[in-house]
Chain A
Amino acid sequence: GENVEQHPSTLSVQEGDSAVIKCTYSDSASNYFPWYKQELGKRPQLIIDIRSNVGEKKDQRIAVTLNKTAKHFSLHITETQPEDSAVYFCAASKNSGGYQKVTFGTGTKLQVIP
């Protein structure tokens, strides 16, 4: 099955700096890559996603890049703010028997230091 590895597990940055979280996946059939943000004690929420026919997607301070050849995708947060502090999960999804099967990474705890 699909295996998604996520690094680093923890990340501390100064407010205003950039943060990068990287994920790799194993199954070349994966075609959808969402990123979820989970604040402490709250539910995961989608912040950005990318499909396999796109190399990069940006939404204000957040961007995601995808390298299908290398099976890598990354989340980039620029001009970090304290409210960006949370756990971020990447995921890879592929069609399995007519249904999209989603596999999550293990999460990155991001701390933005004011």
Chain B
Amino acid sequence: NAGVTQTPKFQVLKTGQSMTLQCAQDMNHNSMYWYRQDPGMGLRLIYYSASEGTTDKGEVPNGYNVSRLNKREFSLRLESAAPSQTSVYFCASSEFSWGDTEAFFGQGTRLTVV
């Protein structure tokens, strides 16, 4: 049972380049999330998808877009990368609303924008 799988694990981008971070879960979870983790700032929610077909902005959505491709997959896209988007990105999923059920995290993607 793989749980939550993110790709890639590491990525270096030049300012202005675009990329998509992929996330897939095999736990049949309804809800999925994207977080970024920066030193001294904890985990901040970028976007979430409460269920298949829905997406909503979190705390720091600017510069990002998401797609809930199907129940398993939730991708995060950076259209024009900026150095401020250098961070570690985590995808997570939960069976129902987080708080009613436990959320599980992927292993993270370390992104550097130069």
Residues in chain A within 8 A of chain B (CB atoms): 1, 6, 9, 31-32, 34, 42-46, 49, 89, 93-95, 98-107
Q: Which residue of B lies closest to A33 (CB)?
A: B99
Distance of B103 from chain A, by nearest CB (Å) = 7
Assembled-state Cα–Cα distance A15/B102 (Å): 30
Residues in chain B within 8 A of chain A (CB atoms): 4, 40-45, 48, 50, 56, 59, 90, 97-100, 102-103, 105-108
B40 close to A9 (CB less than 8 A):
yes
A93 close to B42 (CB less than 8 A):
no
Contacts of A43 on B, CB cut-off 8 Å? 4, 90, 105-108
Assembled-state Cα–Cα distance A46/B90 (Å): 14
Assembled-state Cα–Cα distance A14/B39 (Å): 25
Do A93 and B99 form a contact, CB below 8 Å, given A43-B107, A45-B105, A99-B50?
A: yes
What are 19 A-B residue pairs whose CB atoms fall within 8 Å in the complex? A6-B42, A9-B40, A32-B99, A43-B4, A43-B105, A45-B105, A89-B42, A94-B99, A95-B99, A99-B48, A99-B50, A99-B56, A99-B97, A100-B97, A100-B98, A100-B100, A101-B45, A104-B43, A104-B44
A44 close to B102 (CB less than 8 A):
no
Contacts of A106 on B, CB cut-off 8 Å? 40-42
Assembled-state Cα–Cα distance A105/B41 (Å): 8
Q: Which residue of B lies closest to A4 (CB)?
A: B42
B103 close to A46 (CB less than 8 A):
yes
Selected from A45, A94, A102, the residue in CB contact (under 8 A) with B45 is A102
Selected from B41, B99, B108, the residue in CB contact (under 8 A) with A102 is B99
Q: Which residue of A lies closest to B38 (CB)?
A: A106
Contacts of B45 on A, CB cut-off 8 Å? 101-102
Contacts of B48 on A, CB cut-off 8 Å? 99
B42 close to A107 (CB less than 8 A):
yes
